[in-house]
Amino acid sequence: MESEEEQWAVEWTLDINKVRALYDSISYAYEMWPGAPKRPYDEQEFLQLTKNELFAMIMDYNLTQL
């Protein structure tokens, strides 16, 4: 059974400039990730996944809106 934390979700609307800024921030955090044991491995995986998802959003925008 899922905990309340696992069931909670949020929906967030961002314009393309904010998506690009978030992508840059996540990319920087991923590049500067200090490694374990300073930071957990899950964090690196999260950063990579989030970076890929944001990149996909930017590419979708570029292909459909430009």
Of 11, 6, 45, residue with least CA distance to 26: 45
> Read out DSSP for 32-56?
T---TTTS-HHHHHHHHHHHHHHHH
Share of the chain above pLDDT 90, in %: 85
| pLDDT greater than 90 at residue 44 | yes
| pLDDT greater than 90 at residue 8 | no
CA 64, distance to chain mean position in Å, is: 21
pLDDT digits (tens, 9 = 90+) for 22-41: 999 999 999 999 999 999 99
CA atoms within 13 A on the CB side of 61: 13
